[in-house]
């Protein structure tokens, strides 16, 4: 099995606090992987070093055969990693359409001078971007909201729009940070289907951070468990639910059966 993303011995320290410690992690080109662990375990920090928001204190990160640790986030996005944020970060003053359009910036052939002089090539490319944005929006049933300011969307639609915007960068790997947070059971089920659909349709790898075990078990084929910045387990859902370290550190207080019962 080939590897798309690989972290080797990654450690992140914030002053005295070690948020991530010696983390090894491998993701294949079509994996549906999950990263779970209690609050403050360092999951978001892992996303932040993969996407270049922080540089790991030590360790290496490679995407394909490129070392990306410490690269600027926009370059990493260009290499094929896109993400969503734990607290939704849409472009508040832009419409639904423009939020997605902005993500096409990366693939634009014509920049500054074309916007200024507006030759036919400019209009052709804009029309092309327009069409692709609408295609994406329609796939995710957001087309009818194209001119709505994104802050006026429902919470679930905002979460979905953030995913669409990430997909617009044409990633090889999509990182989703707690996409089901704040959703009701029906919405969570829809999200589970959505993520599986995205993997099939766009043929990409997904790494998911999520607290809801039902969502994680429903989506992920491979799960990494973090506790206090240390990877304590790794395996398929069946192995993880039986792992005694995981039960003690994380699942113990909230067994997956209970999650299923109240859903």
Partner 1 sequence: MSRYLRSKKVWLLLAVLGSALLSRFSGAINEYYLQVIIFVGINITLAVSLNLINGYTGQFSLGHAGFMAVGAYTASIVTLGVPLPLVTYPEPSAALFARLLGALVLAFDHAVNAVLWVANSGVAAVHGLPLVLQFVVALVAGGILAALTGLLVGVPSLRLRGDYLAIVTLGFGEIIRVVIQNTDAIGGARGYSGIPNYTTFFWAYAVAAATIYIVVSLIDSTYGRGFLTVRDDEVAAEAMGVDTTKYKVVAFVLGAFFAGIGGGLYAHTTTYINPAGFDFQRSIEIVIIVILGGMGSTPGVAFAAVLLTVLAEYLRFVAGYTFLPTWLRQLAANRTIIYALVLIALMLLRPQGLFGGLRAFGASATRKVPKAA
Ligand X SMILES: Nc1ncnc2c1ncn2[C@@H]1O[C@H](COP(=O)(O)OP(=O)(O)O)[C@@H](O)[C@H]1O
The pair of three-digit structure tokens given for residue 139, joined into one six-digit string: 């796939």
Number of residues this chain uses to bind Mg ion (CB under 5 A): 2
Q: Is 102 in the site for partner 1 (CB under 8 A)?
A: yes
In the 8-state DSSP scheme, what is residue 38? S
Binding test (CB under 8 A) with partner 1, winner from 13, 30, 114, 211: 114
Cα 51 versus chain centre, distance: 10
Residue-wise over 31-56: b if at least 16 C-beta within 10 A, else e? bbbbbbbbeebbbbbbbbbbbbebeb
List, edge to edge, every strand of the sheet that includes 173-177. 81-83, 173-177, 205-209, 32-36, 222-227, 230-235
Residue with tokens 């799960």: 223
Binding test (CB under 5 A) with Mg ion, winner from 21, 44, 48, 84: 44
Q: Is 169 in the site for Mg ion (CB under 5 A)?
A: no
Cβ-based nearer residue to ligand X, 21 or 192: 21
Binders of Mg ion among residues 75 to 114 (CB under 5 A) are 86
Binding test (CB under 6 A) with ligand X, winner from 26, 43, 83, 231: 43
Binding test (CB under 8 A) with partner 1, winner from 20, 42, 104, 159: 104
Binding test (CB under 6 A) with ligand X, winner from 1, 2, 16, 39: 39
Q: Applying CB under 8 A, which part among 74-82, 183-191, 234-242, 246-254 lies near partner 1? A: 74-82
C-alpha–C-alpha distance, residues 218 and 23, integer Å? 25
Binders of partner 1 among residues 159 to 178 (CB under 8 A) are 165-166, 168-169
Q: Applying CB under 6 A, which part among 14-22, 67-75, 102-110, 231-239 lies near ligand X? A: 14-22
197 binds, among partner 1, ligand X, Mg ion, none (CB under 5 to 8 A by kind): none
Q: Where are the alpha helices (DSSP H) in 169-212?
A: 185-202
Q: Is 87 in the site for partner 1 (CB under 8 A)?
A: no
C-alpha–C-alpha distance, residues 168 and 99, integer Å? 10
Q: Is 19 in the site for ligand X (CB under 6 A)?
A: yes
C-alpha–C-alpha distance, residues 101 and 129, integer Å? 7
Query: In DSSP terms, which residues pair with 14 in a beta bridge?
Result: 17
Q: Applying CB under 8 A, which part among 25-33, 62-70, 127-135, 240-248 lies near partner 1? A: 127-135
The pair of three-digit structure tokens given for residue 211, joined into one six-digit string: 């607290």
Nearest of 140, 43, 37, 34 to residue 96 by alpha carbon: 140
Least distance to ligand X, CB of residue 12, Å: 8
Least distance to partner 1, CB of residue 83, Å: 6
Half-sphere exposure of 149 (CA within 13 A, CB side): 4
Cβ-based nearer residue to ligand X, 104 or 224: 224
Cβ-based nearer residue to partner 1, 67 or 108: 108
Binding site for Mg ion (CB under 5 A): 44, 86
Binding site for ligand X (CB under 6 A): 14, 17, 19, 37, 39-45
């Amino acid at each position: 099995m080939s590897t798309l993303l690989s972290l080797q011995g990654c450690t992140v320290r914030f002053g005295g606090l070690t948020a991530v410690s010696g983390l090894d992690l491998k993701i294949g080109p079509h994996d549906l992987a999950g990263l779970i662990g209690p609050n403050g375990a360092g999951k978001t920090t892992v996303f932040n070093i993969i996407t270049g928001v922080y540089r790991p204190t030590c360790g290496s990160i490679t995407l394909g055969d490129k070392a990306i640790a410490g690269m600027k986030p926009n370059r990493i996005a260009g290499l094929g990693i896109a993400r969503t944020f734990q607290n939704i970060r849409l472009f508040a003053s832009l419409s639904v359409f423009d939020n997605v359009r902005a993500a096409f910036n990366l693939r634009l052939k014509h920049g500054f001078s074309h916007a200024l002089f507006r030759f036919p090539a400019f209009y052709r490319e804009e029309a092309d971007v327009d069409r692709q944005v609408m295609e994406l929006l329609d796939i995710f049933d957001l087309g009818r909201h194209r001119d709505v300011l994104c802050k006026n969307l429902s919470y679930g639609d905002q979460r979905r729009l953030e995913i669409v915007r990430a997909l617009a960068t044409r990633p090889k790997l999509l990182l989703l940070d707690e996409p089901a947070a704040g959703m009701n059971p029906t919405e969570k089920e829809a999200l589970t289907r959505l993520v599986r659909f995205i993997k099939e349709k766009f043929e990409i790898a997904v790494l998911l951070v999520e607290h809801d075990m039902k969502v994680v078990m429903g989506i992920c084929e491979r799960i990494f468990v973090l506790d206090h910045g240390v990877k304590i387990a790794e395996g398929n859902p069946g192995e993880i639910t039986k792992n005694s370290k995981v039960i003690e550190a994380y699942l113990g207080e909230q067994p997956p059966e209970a999650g299923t019962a109240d859903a």
